[in-house]
Amino acid sequence: MRWSQTLIPTLKEDPSDAEIVSHKLMLRAGLIRKLSAGAYSYLPLGLRSLNKIINIVREEMDAAGAAEVLMPVLQPAELWRESGRFDGFGDLMCRFTDRAGRVNVLGPTHEEVITSIVRDSLNSYRQLPVTLYQIQTKFRDEVRPRFGVLRSREFQMKDAYSFDVDEAGLGHSYKAMYDAYCRIFSRCGLKYRPVEADTGLIGGDVSHEFMVPAESGEDIMLSCAKCGYDANAERAECPPTKDAQGPCDSGLAGKSNVREVSTPGAHTVEQVCKFLNTEPAQLIKTLIYMADGKPVAVLVRGDREINQAKLQRFLKAGTLEMASAVTILDVTGGPLGFSGPVGLKLRMVADWSVWPMKDFVTGANKADTHLVEVNLGKDFKIEEFSDLRMAKEGDRCPRCEGTLALTHGIEVGHVFKLGTKYSSKMNALFRTEKGEQKPMVMGCYGIGINRIMASAIELYHDEHGVIWPMSIAPYQVIIVSLRQDDEQIMGAAKKIYENLQKVGVEVLWDDRDLAPGVKFNDADLIGIPIRVTVGNKVVKAGTVDVKPRSAKEQVPVFHAGAVEAVTEMLQKYTCG
């Protein structure tokens, strides 16, 4: 392709509405343009890279034995009511009512659709296992789209779904996808780590996310250098410490020493600590949640945070939200900020961090009042303890004696063992060898295509622009011709351009009549891996210069040998 015939609108300055480096560079290099918040057009260069990623994904899915399908974006709400997710997804799902008054959604994911297809088409163990996938646009009405294409309302996803007869079968399907994902990310040139993950709205028991380490990543991973444990912070386990092995009601025998103290205006942990001259770790926070509409008191040590995902799983709640101030007053008798477990007539659950605590501070369910020297067993009882807190940097590793370290990351893929969550609700059944009917055992597997592109740029760039990995670069080679009015130069450039195309090299020829500096800077900005410069030297010495984008120095070669030099370099820089 000649630059003069395509659309590559590069920008000299950073666009004002971009914050992170991949977003800035994608706009500046003319890969994308924003239409509205969270909706982007892909221009020729961006689309070429996107398609290269899609090709890699497709090759690896096919190699892993998955079959490609294409399902509708437009889906009836009814289908989502079957699985029970119509409400679960809430406003995250784009919905509209059609002319006949039917409620429709734009698919945020396709578990329901694929399950409805499979339940009608497969009914015997003889037909299983099967893995189906598609590559398609997904819609999510995100609360806050941001970071360019990293969190957008419309994006490209590869989603795959496996159907097996049992858990063991699912294990194999899951492994096959997991391995395919590793190959895909490697071939795209990414650094990545699979980590244990929470299953969120998709559901299921086991899941792994594939994370690209990046400062700008929205996700936080906690990892143990000692044993290799690696998990998303929202998933990372916080098992009970050794202290929690013993009785938590150690003070049961003695008399209660609880005293009320006045703490006017102190309703945050910090304020209370300052007032009572104590530490957050000596407080118990009592949070009131509404789980499926019923109030629950949740206790955690004052210096820790509740992990809502863990809580929701423990309570097996369909919906979970923090109670309003009005509700808190109603169920505890005290205002927001002064809740405590003593005398509370609610379901109470506590994080393990509460277990070993003694003589602690709690709210008194009374305005401007706290209780001190409170003890478990003596003053109140907790029947249910569990791991409910958010893990954080510096915590003990749940698997060994190591310490957890923190890294930010971009989630580029996520694999789930769903089990029978969808198949049983939606009646996707099959007949076993013995003639019994059983729900299929499912897995689902997603890759964010656009995120692969953005995270590659996050990983590989310098102050001049993008440095594409060869496998997903829009073009492999860029020819920069320096004098558009010089027949010898243009003739040599054209010959190299045509000969490279003949041997199947993807080449962009910058044939624009612009100053050399402009063209070099644009070439650096768009980051094509190999640059061939054709200028005066071809006239004077018969040479052109070949330079990898990632290298500082260029090497002169005779123009007749340029194609050979380039193809040699191509091999050197191609990974996977």
Partner RNA sequence: CGGGGCGUAGCUCAGCUUGGCUAGAGCGCUUGGUUUGGGACCAAGAGGUCCCGGGUUCAAAUCCCGGCGCCCCGACCA
Smallest distance from RNA to CB 533, Å: 4
Smallest distance from RNA to CB 199, Å: 8
Distance (Å) of CA 324 to CA 66, 288, 316, 543: 47, 9, 21, 75
Q: 38 or 363, CB closer to RNA?
A: 38
First to last CA, the chain: 26
Q: 177 or 361, CB closer to RNA?
A: 177
Tokens of 181: 């994902």
Q: 350 or 489, CB closer to RNA?
A: 489
Smallest distance from RNA to CB 305, Å: 8
Question: 35 in helix, strand or coil?
Answer: strand
Q: 126 or 294, CB closer to RNA?
A: 294
Smallest distance from RNA to CB 146, Å: 4
Q: What angle do CA 363, 289, 92 make, to 5 degrees?
A: 145
Q: 17 or 68, CB closer to RNA?
A: 17
| Residue 547 backbone phi and psi in degrees, to 5 | -145, 125
- Amino acid at residue number 227: C
Smallest distance from RNA to CB 437, Å: 29
Q: 15 or 240, CB closer to RNA?
A: 15
Task: Specify the DSSP class assigned to residue 367.
Answer: T
Residue keyed to tokens 């343009």:
33
Chain centroid to CA 356: how far?
35
Smallest distance from RNA to CB 42, Å: 16
Sign of the torsion angle spanned by Cα atoms 194, 198, 200, 206: positive
Smallest distance from RNA to CB 260, Å: 31
Q: 442 or 447, CB closer to RNA?
A: 447
d(CA 478, CA 481): 10
Smallest distance from RNA to CB 454, Å: 11
Smallest distance from RNA to CB 85, Å: 10
Q: Please check whether residue 539 is in contact with residue 573, taking contact to mean a CB–CB distance below 8 angstroms.
A: no
What lies within 8 Å, CB to CB, of 278 at 6+ separation is 272, 361
Q: 146 or 396, CB closer to RNA?
A: 146
Binding positions for RNA, rule: CB under 7 A: 10-17, 19, 34, 36-38, 92, 109, 143-147, 151, 157, 198, 200-202, 218, 308-309, 411-414, 446-448, 451, 464, 482-483, 485, 515-518, 520-525, 533-538, 544-545, 547, 554
Tokens of 225: 């250098």
Question: 344 in helix, strand or coil?
Answer: coil
Task: Specify the DSSP class assigned to residue 34.
Answer: E
Q: Please check whether residue 216 is in contact with residue 408, taking contact to mean a CB–CB distance below 8 angstroms.
A: yes
Distance (Å) of CA 413 to CA 154, 211, 305, 445, 447: 17, 7, 27, 8, 4
Q: 2 or 464, CB closer to RNA?
A: 464
d(CA 559, CA 553): 18
Q: 15 or 491, CB closer to RNA?
A: 15
Distance (Å) of CA 576 to CA 184, 187, 572: 9, 5, 11
Among 140, 123, 1, CA closest to 450: 140
Q: 176 or 557, CB closer to RNA?
A: 557
Smallest distance from RNA to CB 153, Å: 9
Among 428, 420, 426, 427, CA closest to 204: 420
Smallest distance from RNA to CB 233, Å: 10
Q: 66 or 482, CB closer to RNA?
A: 482
Smallest distance from RNA to CB 195, Å: 13
Greatest alpha-carbon pair distance for the chain in Å reads 101
Smallest distance from RNA to CB 167, Å: 22
Q: 164 or 411, CB closer to RNA?
A: 411
Smallest distance from RNA to CB 414, Å: 4
Smallest distance from RNA to CB 380, Å: 26
Q: Please check whether residue 394 is in contact with residue 194, taking contact to mean a CB–CB distance below 8 angstroms.
A: no
Output 565-572 pairs: Cβ under 8 A, ≥24 positions apart: 566/477, 566/500, 566/505, 566/530, 566/532, 567/503, 567/505, 569/530, 570/470, 570/476, 570/477, 570/505, 570/530
Half-sphere exposure of 61 (CA within 13 A, CB side): 24
d(CA 350, CA 378): 16
What single string gives the DSSP state of each residue in 194-220?
A: EEE---TTT--SEEEEEEEE-TT-SEE
Q: 287 or 354, CB closer to RNA?
A: 287
Q: 193 or 431, CB closer to RNA?
A: 193
